[in-house]
Amino acid sequence: MGVLDELNAGARADMEERRALVGQDELVRRIAALPATRDPLPAFRAPGIAIIAEVKRSSPSKGALAEIADPAALAEAYAHGGADAISVLTEKHRFGGSLDDLAAVRARVDVPVLRKDFITDAYQLYEARAVGADLALLIVASLSDAELAALHATALDLGLTPLVETHTADEVRRAADAGAVLVGVNNRNLNTLEVDIRTFARLAPLVPEGTVLVAESGVRTPEDVRAFAEAGADVALIGEALVTGGDPVAGVRAMKEAVRG
C-alpha cells in the first residue's frame, strides 16, 4: 500500500467514526442555516499572484513542522498579510489537523477557507460545508473518473469550489473531463513524497485555457512564487515555508509582492 492509499484509508476510517455520531441528514440541517459560501475565483483570477496560506502542523514527509496552538490566530495573521484564502489541513494522523481547526479559522477570518483532506466520500463534503469551508480538495489520484465527477458535482451543489489536484498529464486530462475550473498541480508525488518543482511547468501547458492554476508543494521563497507565476500559476499554495518562517504576516506579504499585478 502506497502513502496515498494509507492516507485515504485512514481518512475513511475517521470519517466513519464521525458519521456514526453525526449523520448526513444532520449536516444538511446545519448547512441550511449557514450563509452562502465565499467565491475565491475572482481573487484567484486577479492580476498578480494569489496566495493560499496553509495551517499545517506536520506532514508525512517532514514530520512536525509547527505546534500551532491557535490556528485561528495564525489564519488571521495570514489574512493580515494579504492571503487570498486559507487552507486548513483536517487530517489528524499525519498532519495533526481537525475539523475543529477549520471551524475556528472560519470564525476568525473573512477570506475563503479550503478544507484540505483526503476526500473520497460525499459525506466529507457535507462536513466541510457544515463547518464553514468554501473550497474542498479533490485529489484525482485518489478517485475513479466516476467518483471524481460525482464528488465534483456534489461540491458545486453545496456551494463549494472544488480544488482538483493533479500530478500527471493523465490526471490533468481527467480533471478537465470532470469540468474542473480550479486545478492544482502538485509538485509532490503523494506515493513517494518526493518533490520535483519541474512538474508544474511541464503540466501547466496541458491545462485548458481559462482554468485557474494552483502551484502546490515546493513553494518556499518569493523567487519560487515568481518562477511558478512565469510558468502559468495564478495561485500558489504555501504551507511549510509560512508556518516555519517566524512571521506569517511578513511571509505572506513577501510572497504576494513577488509578482506585481
Query: Which of these is catalytic: 8, 116, 127, 142?
Result: 116
127, 171, 216, 240: which one is catalytic? Answer: 216
Given a cut of 90, is residue 58 above it in pLDDT?
no
Note if 54 is an active site residue: yes
Instruction: Confirm whether 256 is a catalytic residue.
Output: no
Environment class of 191 (CB within 10 Å of its CB; exposed 0-12, middle 13-18, buried 19+): middle
Residue 235 clears pLDDT 90, i.e. is over it: yes
Average the pLDDT over 79-102 and give the result. 96
Three cell numbers written together for 62: 517532514
For residue 68, pLDDT over 70 is answered with yes
DSSP state of 188: B
Quick check: is 187 catalytic?
A: no
Instruction: Assess whether 58 carries a catalytic annotation.
Output: no
Asked about 56 being catalytic, the answer comes back as: yes
Q: Which of the four pLDDT bands, split at 50, 70 and 90, describes residue 63?
A: confident
Q: How many domains does the chain fold into?
A: 1
Domain that holds residue 189: 3-257
Residue 216 annotated among the catalytic residues of the structure? yes
Catalytic residue among 58, 171, 217, 240: 217
Average of per-residue pLDDT across 158-176: 98
User: Looking at the whole model, is its pTM more than 0.75?
Assistant: yes
Q: Decide if pLDDT at 3 tops 70.
A: yes
CATH code of the domain containing 192: 3.20.20.70
